[in-house]
Amino acid sequence: MTVVGPFGLSVRDQALETDVQAGLAAVEAGLLEATKSEVPFITEAAQHLVRAGGKRFRPLLVMLASRFGDPYAPGIVPSAVVVELTHLATLYHDDVMDEADVRRGVESANARWGNSVAVLTGDFLFARASHILADLGPEAVRIQAEAFERLVTGQILETAGPRDGRDPVAHYLDVIAGKTGSLIAVSGRFGALMSGADESVVDILTQYGERLGTAFQLADDVLDIASDAHESGKTPGTDLREGIPTLPVLRLREMAAQGGDPADQELVSLLDGDLTDDARHAEVLTRLRAHPALERARRDTIQYAEDARATLAPLPECFAKSALEELCDAVVHRAG
């Protein structure tokens, strides 16, 4: 049993492990090749986050999904490069919108070179992803275009906030289904589609990716409150400090609106205050960690992960299916 990929995923079959590792290495080479430019400065900026590393969660899912067809089909590695390039491009844009200073343990592109360079570098990565897609055929282009539309729609919905009368939790789940679920769904879809898997298998792995992607983001929400810096690799309460309405905070607000607990009302008032103040931020973080809203958000995460696992039931038993099931466990473990 060997550990590969994000979260220490264990692969129980030597052949699968070897193929997955080889596939991810080919994706890494493809990312470096796709981010080269004749202009050295563009290469430096475009490879900034590639070289910073990352989980490569989406390429891993492409590799595992491809095991339900021909895992050596020529479109698999390029499609994995496409989804990771698209993901990286959104990070450049997200950091500008969030005014982030750090990404993956290194200085963010916008902090290093300014917002204009960061936005244009993200656009450059989108262009390179589109160039690769063109060789994968019109169906792949259409799938990616639809996913990108959903991704951008999710970002716009997040920026605009819920319309009057809309349940904020339902709105937020729509946001992350678009922002995160859509591209992870495409990862499962591309892996199965490019391998020539049956249409029913392609549909199953698309649905699996969508649900797992939502669980993945909800786990991040829980981690932002519950983890320490050593566990998560980022400063606890970052989203909290930046005023990003993650699920534990939304569940708290929901409970405060429904009940008459003065402590809930007081905590909401603290949340609505200046969380750039270190003392206030520390108090809110401590109280949220002990609040039932955090456990409710953790249960929501588990439910989406279990829904993803249940989606896999019709697939034949094999090591790849076991690995996909273990990804569900790994996501839940992050939020545990």
pLDDT for 2 beyond 60: no
Span 257-308, pLDDT tens digits = 887 688 899 999 999 888 888 899 999 999 999 999 999 999 999 999 999 9
Pairing of strands 102-103, 106-107: antiparallel
Q: Token digits for 172?
A: 């937020």
Mean pLDDT of 119-147: 95
Cα–Cα distance measured from residue 271 to residue 265, given in angstroms and rounded to the nearest whole number: 10
User: Who contacts 204 (Cβ-Cβ below 8 Å, separation ≥6)?
Assistant: 311, 312, 314, 315
Give the Cα separation of 118 and 91 in Å (integer).
9
Q: Cα dihedral sign for 247, 239, 87, 305?
A: negative
If you write DSSP's letter for every residue of 229-273 in order, what string do you get?
HHHHSS-TTHHHHTT---HHHHHHHHHHHHS--HHHHHHHHHHTS
Domain boundaries, the chain: 2-334
What is the chain's mean pLDDT, rounded?
89
Tokens of 215: 């669980």
In a 10 Å sphere around its CB, with 0-12 CB exposed, 13-18 middle and 19+ buried, how is residue 308 labelled? Answer: buried
- Class of 2-334 per CATH? mainly alpha
Sign of the Cα pseudo-torsion (104, 294, 326, 304, in order): negative
Per-residue pLDDT, 247: 96
For 75, the token pair is 């479109």
- Cβ neighbours around 227 below 10 Å, total: 18
Chain position carrying tokens 């566990």: 231
Alpha carbon distance 79, 129 (integer Å)? 9
pLDDT tops 50 at residue 3? no
Interacting residues of 21 by C-beta distance below 8 A, sequence separation 6+: 4
104: left (phi over 0), alpha (psi -120 to 50) or beta: left
- Look at residue 5 in the predicted model and tell me its pLDDT: 52
Report residue 295: phi and psi, to 5°. -65, -35
pLDDT tens for each residue of 304-323: 999 999 999 999 999 999 99
Encode pLDDT of 192-221 as tens digits: 999 999 999 999 999 999 999 999 999 999
Cβ proximity of 125 and 88 under 8 Å: yes
